[in-house]
Amino acid sequence: MTQSGFQPTLKEKTAVALAYLAYTGEELIGKFDKEGVEEEILTLVQETLPKLAVLCEAGEPDWKVVWGPAIYTFPLAAHQDNGMFVVQRISRPHEYTIAIRGTNGVAIMDWLREDLSVWRKVDWQLPAGVVASGNPKVSKATSTGVDALLNRMSPKEGLPGASMTIASFLTDVASSGRCELLFTGHSLAGCLAPTLALHFCQSQGLEDSWDPASNATVSTISFAGPSAGNSDFAAFSDAQLGPRCDRIFNTLDIVPAGWASATLKPLPHLYVSGGIKMGFVLKLFYRLLYLTLRNYRQISKGNPFTWEIQPEKDSYLAQAAVQHFDSYPNALGEPEILEVLRKKASPSV
C-alpha cells in the first residue's frame, strides 16, 4: 500500500511494466559467450508480454518489439551493462515506447561507470543553433550511459531493426508521419530515459536533424532515477520537455535522492520510523557523498508517492533494496510484474 494519494494513469502503469520488462535476461553473460544472448532476451520478452494484462488488449499482447533488443558490455567486463528495446502499440501503431534497462546488479563496471562516476561533470552536448542558459553539465556517469545508448548499441542481424542505431531507427519512424515516442526506465534508466528523451527533443525542427518536420511527440515516464546533472541542465531539460516529463519516485527510495545535497541530507534517518538505522560503514560512504558532491538538481518537480516500510526487511540496505525495486510496480497497482519477471529469470549461458 502507498501512504499518499498517488493515482497512476494507464499510461504510467504501461510504462512501469515496460521499464521492468527491460530487465529481462540481464543475468545472461554478455561478453565471453555472447552468441545468442539478444535472441534469448527477445524470446523472453515475447513470452512475457502476454502474461502482463496491462500490456494486452482483449487478452492478446498489444505491443510488439520493433527494434532490438540491443545490449552493450564494457570492454573487459563479463556481464551486460546496458540493454534497450523499442515496442510499437498494435492498436495504435503511431505509439512507440523506448524501454531502457536499469543497472545490472551483478555488473561491477556498470556500477562504477554509470552509477557512481558522479564526482566529475562534463558539458551537455547541444545541437548547433541551440543555446541554453548558464552551463548545462551532466555527470560523467550519465554521459557514459547516454553514449552507450546512442553510439554503441544496435540489434544484431536477424533481430528487429538490425544494424540500426536508436537514432537511425527513430529517424525512420518520424519520417513516416505523426508519432508518439515515450522513453521509460527504472533506476539508472530512470535517469537515462529522460536524458535520452531530451537529446532527441532538443534538436527537433532543425534542418538535418532526426525529425526536421517535428512529427514526433517526445515524452518520458521515468521511475526511481537519480539526478543527471547540474541546475543549469535541469532547467534546460524542464524548459524543453516541460509536462511531457513525468518523473515518478518513492520518497523512501534512496536512489532518486542522489545527488543533490538537499535530498541526500535526510538519508541516514529515512527508515527510523521502522526502527532501522544506517550502519557505520554505509554512513561513512554517505558522508563522503554528502560532503563532496556539488550542484546537482533533479529535473521536474516529480510525481512522488510513499510506500510503506516493510518490517521484514530490518537492515538499512535490505529496506533500501525493496523500496527501490519492489515499490514501483506495487504502488502503480501492477504487482504481478515482479512475480512474472522473477519466474522468467533464465540461467546464465
Collapse the DSSP code of 154 into the 3-class scheme (helix H, G, I; strand E, B; otherwise coil) and give the result: coil
Q: Where are the alpha helices (DSSP H) in the chain?
A: 10-21, 37-48, 108-110, 140-151, 166-175, 188-201, 231-241, 261-264, 280-292, 316-325, 327-331, 336-343
Cβ 283 vs Cβ 247: under 8 Å: no
> Comparing 22-36, 110-124, 149-163, 193-207, which segment has the lowest mean pLDDT?
22-36
Give the integer Cα–Cα distance in Å for 166 and 327.
30
Query: Please, are residues 101 and 84 in contact by the beta-carbon 8 Å criterion?
Result: yes
Distance CA(219)–CA(323), nearest Å, equals: 26
Cis peptide leading into residue 259 (ω within 30°): yes
Q: What is the largest CA-CA distance in the chain?
A: 58
Higher pLDDT, residue 34 or 77 = 77
Reading the block at residue 10, the C-alpha cell is 494507464
Secondary structure of the chain: what % helix, strand, coil (to 5)? 40, 20, 40
Classify domain 10-343 at the CATH class level: alpha beta
pLDDT surpasses 80 at 262: yes
Handedness of CA 229, 230, 234, 237 (dihedral sign): negative
Mean pLDDT across the stretch 167-171?
98
Q: Over 80: is that where the pLDDT of 31 sits?
A: no
Which range is least confidently modeled, 34-38, 225-229, 298-302? 34-38
The model's confidence at residue 297, banded by pLDDT at 50, 70 and 90, is: very high
* 215-243 mean pLDDT: 98
For residue 138, list its beta bridge partners: 122, 229
Whether 36 shows a pLDDT value over 80: the answer reads yes
Q: Summarize the confidence of residues 148-169 as an average pLDDT.
A: 97
Instruction: Compare 346 and 13 and report the one with higher pLDDT.
Output: 13
- To the nearest whole number, what is the mean pLDDT of the chain? 94
Predicted confidence (pLDDT) at residue 109 exceeds the cutoff of 90 = no
Identify the pLDDT of residue 2: 58
Check whether the bond before 69 is cis (ω within 30° of 0): yes
**CB 25, CB 41: distance < 8 Å:** yes
pLDDT of amino acid 30: 54
Mean pLDDT of the 262-271 span: 97
pLDDT at 107 over 70: yes
Domain ranges of the chain: 10-343
pLDDT, position 349: 29
In the predicted structure, residue 32 carries a pLDDT above the cut 70: no
- CB distance 91 to 101 below 8 Å: no
C-alpha cell at 205: 525542427
Cβ atoms of 90 and 64 closer than 8 Å:
yes
| The one-letter amino acid at 71 | I
| Whole-number Å distance between alpha carbons of 153 and 69 | 9
User: Which carries the bigger pLDDT value, residue 49 or residue 78?
Assistant: 49
Residue 195 confidence class, pLDDT cut points 50, 70, 90: very high
Percent of the chain with pLDDT over 90: 88
Model pTM score:
0.96
> 341: pLDDT confidence band, cut at 50, 70 and 90?
confident
